[in-house]
Each structure stands twice: as C-alpha cells, then as structure tokens.
Structure 1
Amino acid sequence: MLPSSEQHWKLCDRFLEIRSRWFTLFGEHLEDSQGQQLEYWRIEKADSVIILPIHNHQILLPPPSYRPGVSQMTLDFPGGRVPEGQTPQEAIPKILQRELGIEVTDIAQLTPLNSQGWTVNSSFSNQKLYGFVAYLRDDLKLLPEFVTNTYPTTSEGVQDLLKELICLQCRVVLLEWWNSALCDRFF
C-alpha cells in the first residue's frame, strides 16, 4: 500500500530550467516528509511508444541505429515520441511508415500492452512508455531495406532476440508481449 498523500514532498524552489525541443531540464530544491531540504534534477519529455511488429509468426526489426547515449549501433523495435496533442495509438502509423515502410492498412490488429503507460525512470523523468503489438497482414510484402532482422515468435526466437536487445524499453515490450502470449496459450 502506498503512503498517504500527506507525506508528499514540497517544492521549495526551482533554481534551473533549460528548455529544448527534446526535453526540459529542471534543478529543484525539495523538502522531504522529514523536513530535510534536498537538491534534485529531473527531466520532462514527451511520452514514447514502442511497437512490436509481428508478421507471419516473425518479429520484425528495422536496421540497427546509432545511439549516441551508448556510442554504438543497437537493435531496437520501431518507436518514437508521442507528439503533443496525439495519443500513443495515433503516433503509431507514422512510426511504422518511417521505420519499416508499413502503411496503416498493413496492420491487421493493433494490441496495446498497457493503457496507462509505464514510467520510464520515476526519480528522474516524467516520461511514460506505451507498448503495442502490431500484427501485420499475412499477405504483406516486406521491403528488404526496412526489415533487416527477423526472429520467430517461439521461445527460442524470443531468447535469441533477448541476447541482442540492449534497450531496456524494447526488452520490456518484448517480455510483456511474451508473458501475455504465454498466458493466452495456457489459461
């Protein structure tokens, strides 16, 4: 059970605010429930959506992308920020078109993995992650320049993919889908 709202921390002052088109950085002094003043840094940024695309029992991945935060190419599911004024579901067609060359009409079924969004890093950021599974039409012809990696939707395929994915958000989406798929099979 969570503590009562009487134990919320109090904002004493904001000593820094830097805005960019990608995020806003705040430096703040907060008072905790024991009256102690602490310095905290946090970021506000748009929510994200990650889509697990499945076609003919294969998980599809776009070509690896360079990620400046880890200074390397990484394998990731299609995803991106949710533009202001859009819902996570409304952001999906543009993401799939950009990253896999897939049109909205190519999606046979779109299944959300969470409706409230998972908090990405509750100490440092307000950002939420929304996960979806896009089951694509069986007759869809995939473009090889967009889809460079596939993994079967089997236990072995998921385990092999987990060995390649270093993005925690992608891993969460994959594991949430796999957990729900297992539950659907056995219960």
Structure 2
Amino acid sequence: MSDSSKKLRKLVLIALLTTVLFVQEQALTFLPNIQFTFLLLVIFAVTFSFGENVLIIIIHVIADNLVMGSFNLIYVPFMLIGYLIIPILFKTVFRKVKNTFVIAIIGALMSIIYCWVFIIPSTIIMHIDFLTYLIMDIPFEIILALSTFISVIWLFDPIKKMIDQQLELKSIN
C-alpha cells in the first residue's frame, strides 16, 4: 500500500470515528452523563497523533455545540480545553501507560476534570453560586466518572484493537 493510500485510509478512519464520537453522544443525550465520549477520546489519544486529536476534538465541539444550540464564546473554549486535556496528558505524562485498568482510572479522573473545567462557564451562564453549582454537580460527576471507568474497562481493548487493525490493513493486489 502506498503512503498516499495509507494516509487516505487513516483520514477516512478518523472521519468515521469522529462521526461515531458525535453520533453516540447525541444518541445518549437522554441519559445524563452516560456516554462513550471519554472512552473514545482516550482511545483516540493513545492511537492518533496530537494534531489528529486536536482536529477530532475541534470538529466534535463545533458539531456538538451547533446541534445543541450552545455555540457561544463563553461555553466553547471551556469545552475545547476540557477535551484537549485528554490528548495533552496521554501524549506527555501518561504516554507510557498501557494497563487498561490504569487507563480507566485516568479516563475517570479526566471526566471529573472536564466537569470542573465547566464550573466557570456554567456559573456565568446560569448565574449560580460557584459552591452551589459544585455541590449540585457531584452526582453527575460521579455518574460520568463511573460510566467512563466501566466503558474503558469493558471496551478499550476491543475498540483499540479494531482501530489498530484498520490502520494496519494492507491492500490486496
């Protein structure tokens, strides 16, 4: 397979996975903080380059905010920061972590950090006291962290393996 074919295959795979990221989150919006977003972002962080992760996250954030009607300069930057923490940490501090259980713990912690990043815009938009918001958000943070931990434990290895297989496929001539 030529280099251009490999690059095209990877680009198409990234586009498809970005679509899966967006669709699963929209499909699960009726369940508060139950989603596979952090699972997928963790898999992408350990699979793709930092630049590819930035592209996936930017596309996801724009699409999500356009569909949900929350596209504004108070909300979007914090969403970008919250999601970009994942590839930043997996490309630096946690780059050598391979154990799925440890990755699940890191994913759960990152989901909590993501929630904390949102305290600032949420208190501004909703005009709620910081401490009140923090306390009210604890059950949702726990749900998101648990759903992230469980989904990473159960699905990280099979999904990562499938993506790796797609990236390694050789053309049949």
Q: What's the TM-score, normalizing by structure 1?
A: 0.29
Pick 1 or 2: higher relative contact order, CA cutoff 8 A, min separation 6. Answer: 2
Which one has a bigger Cα radius of gyration?
A: 1
- Say which structure is richer in helix: 2
- Say which structure is richer in strand: 1
Q: What's the TM-score, normalizing by structure 2?
A: 0.30
